[in-house]
Amino acid sequence: MMNKEQYLLYFIMGSNNTDKDPEEALREAVQGGITCFQFREKGEDAREASGKKELAQRLQVICREAGVPFIVNDDVDLALELGADGIHAGQEDTPLRDIKKRCSGSMTVGVSAKTKAEAEQAVQDGADYLGAGPMFATSTKEDAEAPVGPETVRMLRQSGITLPIVGIGGIGTENAASVMEAGADGVSVISAISRAPDIQQAAQSLRNVLR
Ligand code: 3NM
């Protein structure tokens, strides 16, 4: 199980989120101080089947050596096959109850939730953490909805949600603090790290504003 501190700088990446070799990108991000990693192989030119699995395995090794939790987006089969530390599902992905049936209690299970109803349902179904977003405008997720802002994190806290919450979507050094101030335990970031010219430096700068 993940502890709360491990949500602080939650890096997400798939092969199409970086122009670099994904392994090199992840190594640099780890050196910069990410506290958690999610493998999210989705969208245009995403790898499938054995290509996806092989990349996941190589990224998992990097995480394991660094003591960084390795979480798989949506793909329960892959998460189980690799013995991932966790699985994350969106509202349109595999239902949480089905995931919980298949995964042991030692696997961290995250769910995307941005309304009080979605969050309460996720709590009831046994989620371990929530991802709330998009906080700000993002072009990384093709079907991203309108930004809901850090106020949404504040609203979820005021509704009595005590699970760890990570904000996601359009987050960078300039706005990460506002997400934390609203009550988040961490920020989930793709492009601010994966597309940075200096990935290690970008991760480090984010860590510095989160402390
Ligand atoms: N999920 P970036 S927004 C993967 O709102 C994802 O649930 C979102 O990428 C949600 O950090 C998003 O580059 C994309 O904006 C995050």
Ligand 1 atom at minimum distance from 12 CA: 4
Q: Which atom of ligand 1 is nearest to the CA of 188?
A: 11
Q: With b meaning 16 or more CB within 10 Å and e meaning fewer, what string describes 160-197?
A: ebebbbbbbbbbbeebbebbbebbbbbbbbbbbbbbbe
Q: What is the identity of the amino acid at 187? A: V
CB atoms within 10 A of CB 85: 22
Pocket test for ligand 1, best of 188, 191, 195 (most atoms within 8 A of CB): 188
Nearest-CA neighbor of 205 among 164, 167, 177, 166?
177
How far lies 130's CA from each of 20, 37, 96, 186, in Å?
29, 15, 12, 11
CA dihedral 135, 177, 162, 143 (to 10 degrees): 20
Q: What is the ipTM of this complex?
A: 0.99
Active site residues per annotation: 40, 112, 141
User: Is-contact 189 172, C-beta < 8 A?
Assistant: yes
Q: Is 92 annotated as a binding residue?
A: no
In this prediction, residue 144 carries a pLDDT of 87
Strand partners, 73: 88
Question: Per residue in 6-25, pLDDT tens?
Answer: 999 999 999 999 999 999 99
4 is in an annotated binding site: no
Q: What is the pLDDT of residue 1?
A: 87
- Encode pLDDT of 128-186 as tens digits: 999 999 999 999 998 889 999 999 999 999 999 999 999 999 999 999 999 999 999 99
pTM exceeds 0.95: yes
**Residue 131: per-residue pLDDT:** 98
Ligand 1 centroid to Cα of residue 136, in Å, is 9
Cβ < 6 A, ligand 1 pocket: 112, 131, 133-134, 138, 140-141, 144, 168-171, 189-192
What is the identity of the amino acid at 3? N
Burial code (b: 16+ CB inside 10 Å, e: under 16) for 91-126 equals: eebeebeebbeebeeebbbbbbbbeeebbebbbeee
Q: Do residues 86 and 72 make contact, with C-beta atoms less than 8 angstroms apart?
A: yes
Predicted local confidence at residue 116, as pLDDT: 98
Amino acid in the structure at residue 185: D
Indicate the top mutation candidate among 114, 136, 138 to test ligand 1's pocket, ranked by most ligand atoms within 8 A of CB: 138
3-state secondary structure of 39: strand
Instruction: Consult the annotation and say whether 199 binds a ligand.
Output: no
Sorted by where each starts, the structural domains of the chain and their CATH numbers stand as: 4-210 (3.20.20.70)
pLDDT digits (tens, 9 = 90+) for 51-68: 999 999 999 999 999 999
pLDDT, residue 125, reads 96
How high is the mean pLDDT of the chain?
A: 97
